[in-house]
Amino acid sequence: MIGRARQFITAAMLALGLAGEAAAIDVNDWNSVVAEARGQTIYFNAWGGAENINAYIKWAGDEMKARYGVTVVHVKLDDTAKAVATVVAEKSAGKDRDGAVDLIWINGENFAAMKRERLLFSPDWATKLPNWVYVDHESKPTVLTDFTIATGGLESPWGGAKLVFFYDSARTAGGELPDSAADLLKWAEANTGRFSYPQPPDFTGSSFLKQVLTELIHDKTKLQKPVDEATFAADAAPLFAYLDKLTPLLWRKGKAYPQNYPDMKQKFADGELDIIFAFNPAEASAAIANGELPDSVRSFVFSGGTLGNTHFVAIPYNASAKAGALLFANFLLSPEAQLRKQDPKIWGDPTVLSLARLPAAERQAFEALDLGVATLGPDQLGPALDEPHPDWMTRIEAEWIRRYGAAN
């Protein structure tokens, strides 16, 4: 969903080292933000690879137009790094105003890169949004820390994520399911060609690599820090030893890979794969509701935990329509928009709000929401494993491509 960035940070960009444009908007004066936003057009750069998510963004844009007179244009990306590259190029060219990107769906190494290079709008705007009062920052610490990097109010949380696996109970017995990465390797040995993952650097595929690395690395504390090149080979050795064994057992013997999550889901629906995974606990139920998967599909997780994180929206420092972007980010945090987003018939993306903080009517609406037959309850999702520092994704992707890239 949200891809590469580091390779786009050029030597010229590093040489600039410029501070972000001082904010001319007072986020604390919300009435003035709303007034300034009216009539603006915001270019929302967001992954466009799923029809249900695109439909949700269109709904949100229609609401912004009707309520606030703000036009939202969804710039559909296949890789978030393309939006990052646009902002990098503009800053390198000295275009510190009227940028082409107003809001980005972002997390992980893309956020880390933009924060490091001062490409983001003024600090601490996110916690000043009116709807921040509903955000669950006590039990969901990832709304304040993005892949170990403190957000500093530079991005606003939009939704939660947890890695879950799916199987079709009509084809695969529940008692045969793996309960760890090591179990998955044994399962693949017994079910050759029935598992795969999207080809890195696809976000979902890279997340599988991080899940395995997190389970197998000898010193897990190293994952919370930038990669140490002096010890990288030894630190990552368990991951690549695992992949050396897994690769010939994959669909098409690892000579080809699904392009992305929708491609992997289609192969599962077509009976080519028996186990797939996604970063959304309600994804299977959403796919059933949309007629993409049969109602015999069910979810499972590893009892030792799977990766969990939060995805965000951020405003570039040189955005043309900062007021409109602020207003849209606030709307996306509203109980109404978050409730619709969590409905598996719409999207199924978990909320970042605290139900205890909501007014009674909104809280009851969330509690009454049917999350779907294939969605695990909060008490069934197991521990959430911390995301590694963004350096690790960049580094293991490069090494994966060198070792296993389809061209090899």
Task: Supply the DSSP string of 172-206, one letter for each residue.
Answer: S-GGG---SHHHHHHHHHHSTTSB--PPTTSHHHH
Statement: residue 151 has pLDDT above 90: yes
Burial classification of residue 278, based on how many CB atoms lie within 10 Å of its CB (0-12 exposed, 13-18 middle, 19 or more buried): buried
Statement: residue 317 has pLDDT above 70: yes
Q: Kindly provide the b/e burial profile for residues 279-290, where b requires at least 16 CB atoms within 10 angstroms of the residue's own CB.
A: bbbbbbbbbbbb
Paired residues of 120 in beta bridges = 316
**Could you count the other beta carbons within 10 Å of the beta carbon of residue 176?**
12
pLDDT band per the 50, 70, 90 thresholds, residue 16: very low
Q: Between 4 and 113, where is the model more confident? A: 113
Residue type (1 letter), 267: K
What pLDDT is stored for residue 140 in this prediction? 84
Q: Shortest CA distance to 212 belongs to which of 396, 406, 2, 403?
A: 396
Q: What span, in angstroms and rounded, lies between the C-alpha atoms of 6 and 109?
A: 7
Q: What span, in angstroms and rounded, lies between the C-alpha atoms of 144 and 139?
A: 11
Instruction: Tell me the average pLDDT across 13-32.
Output: 63
What pLDDT is stored for residue 5 in this prediction? 46
pLDDT band per the 50, 70, 90 thresholds, residue 122: confident
Pairing mode of beta strands 306-314, 275-278? unpaired
What pLDDT is stored for residue 406 in this prediction? 62
Q: Between 378 and 198, where is the model more confident? A: 198
- In the chain, what is the straight-line distance between the N-terminal and C-terminal CA atoms, in Å? 24
Question: Treating both helix axes as pointing N-terminal to C-terminal, what angle do 181-190 and 232-246 enclose, rounded to 10 degrees?
Answer: 30
Do 280 and 348 form a contact (C-beta atoms < 8 A)?
Answer: yes
Residue 151, token pair as written in the block: 């957000």
Statement: residue 17 has pLDDT above 60: no
**Could you count the other beta carbons within 10 Å of the beta carbon of residue 82?**
16
Statement: residue 18 has pLDDT above 60: no
Instruction: Tell me the average pLDDT across 174-200.
Output: 95
Q: Between 174 and 232, where is the model more confident? A: 232
pTM of the model as a whole: 0.82
pLDDT band per the 50, 70, 90 thresholds, residue 326: very high
Pairing mode of beta strands 145-146, 149-150? antiparallel
Helix (H, G, I), strand (E, B) or coil at 135: strand
Instruction: Tell me the average pLDDT across 328-338.
Output: 98
Do 247 and 406 form a contact (C-beta atoms < 8 A)?
Answer: no
102: CB partners within 8 A, 6+ apart: 42, 43, 44, 315, 316, 319, 320, 321, 322, 324, 325
Give the lowest-confidence range in 15-24, 76-85, 379-388: 15-24
**pLDDT tens readout for residues 252-267:** 999 999 999 999 999 9
Helix (H, G, I), strand (E, B) or coil at 298: strand
Average pLDDT, the chain: 92
Burial classification of residue 190, based on how many CB atoms lie within 10 Å of its CB (0-12 exposed, 13-18 middle, 19 or more buried): exposed
pLDDT band per the 50, 70, 90 thresholds, residue 141: confident
